[in-house]
């Protein structure tokens, strides 16, 4: 009778353990592994503008979060707030490294540094942009002479800036994709089970020391 009772007790305990393990397994496979607790900032350029995107690591944007821009010496250059899509757009005031700090409140903060090298192609300040020059030659396409005249008038710097702008425009979706995928990284079932493993390992060490202490006395 006693033995039967003991047997019953053990099956119950093993059922509890099995239930716990299955729950963990189930959650790790199906739960939306989205979480709010890592803020990631990314930035890309278009013309003379820097687009800053702030998001939590589950892909949701940081809405209305404060963004500050610092120069290398730590002086605050400008600040603003992100819009509904977590975007903050600004024109860089100078060609130095720019440190962007996003504060999403409640202790969530993300940083991103724009290296000075990446700002080389960016037009700093309020130099006139020349988008209007683009459609002008189309009217003269039928006259070969007109083209060469027009081509002679366009100076290489202008062509460079136009090409630059077009490339940046074409690359923008790609940059956004990269920014998004960067934000998604962070953890996988491997790391989750790894973490649980570490904790169980620590338990083993603790029990080992207690065991040795116990056997000495």
Which residues in this chain contact another protein in the complex, by CB under 8 A?
12-13, 16, 20, 24, 27-28, 31-39, 56, 58, 60, 103, 105-111, 186-187, 191-192, 194-196, 198-200, 202-203, 206-207, 210, 214
109 vs 180 by CB, closer to another protein = 109
| CB contact at 8 A, 99 and 111 | yes
Least Å from the CB of residue 87 to another protein = 18
142 vs 190 by CB, closer to another protein = 190
111 vs 149 by CB, closer to another protein = 111
Least Å from the CB of residue 214 to another protein = 7
Give the C-alpha separation, 115 to 100, whole Å: 11
DSSP state of 139: G
Burial of 80 (0-12, 13-18, 19+ CB in 10 A): middle
173 vs 214 by CB, closer to another protein = 214
Give the C-alpha separation, 26 to 18, whole Å: 12
16 vs 151 by CB, closer to another protein = 16
94 vs 187 by CB, closer to another protein = 187
Least Å from the CB of residue 179 to another protein = 17
Give the C-alpha separation, 162 to 88, whole Å: 24
Least Å from the CB of residue 206 to another protein = 5
Least Å from the CB of residue 30 to another protein = 11
3-class DSSP assignment, residue 89: strand
The H or E element spanning position 198 is helix 189-216
Full strand arrangement of the beta sheet holding 87-90:
39-46, 49-56, 87-90
Least Å from the CB of residue 51 to another protein = 23
- Which residues make Cβ contacts (< 8 Å) with residue 37, sequence separation at least 6? 56, 57, 108
């Amino acid at each position: 009778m006693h033995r039967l009772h003991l047997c019953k007790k053990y099956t119950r305990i093993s059922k509890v353990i099995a239930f716990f393990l299955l729950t963990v397994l189930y959650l790790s496979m199906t739960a939306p592994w989205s979480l709010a607790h890592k803020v990631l900032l990314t930035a890309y350029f278009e013309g003379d503008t820097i687009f800053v995107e702030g998001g939590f690591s589950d892909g949701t944007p940081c809405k209305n979060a404060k963004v500050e821009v610092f120069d290398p010496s730590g002086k605050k250059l400008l600040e603003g707030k992100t819009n509904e899509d977590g975007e903050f757009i600004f024109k860089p005031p100078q060609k130095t490294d720019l440190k962007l700090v996003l504060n999403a409140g409640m202790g969530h903060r993300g940083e991103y540094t724009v290296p000075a090298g990446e700002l080389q192609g960016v037009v700093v300040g309020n130099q006139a942009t020349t988008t209007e020059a683009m459609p002008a030659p189309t009217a003269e396409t039928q006259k070969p002479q007109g083209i060469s005249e027009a081509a002679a008038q366009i100076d290489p710097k202008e062509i460079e800036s136009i090409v630059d702008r077009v490339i940046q425009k074409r690359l923008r979706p790609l940059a956004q994709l990269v920014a998004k995928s960067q934000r998604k990284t962070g953890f996988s079932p491997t790391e989750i089970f790894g973490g649980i493993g570490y904790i169980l390992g620590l338990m083993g060490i603790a029990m080992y020391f207690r065991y040795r202490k116990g056997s000495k006395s």
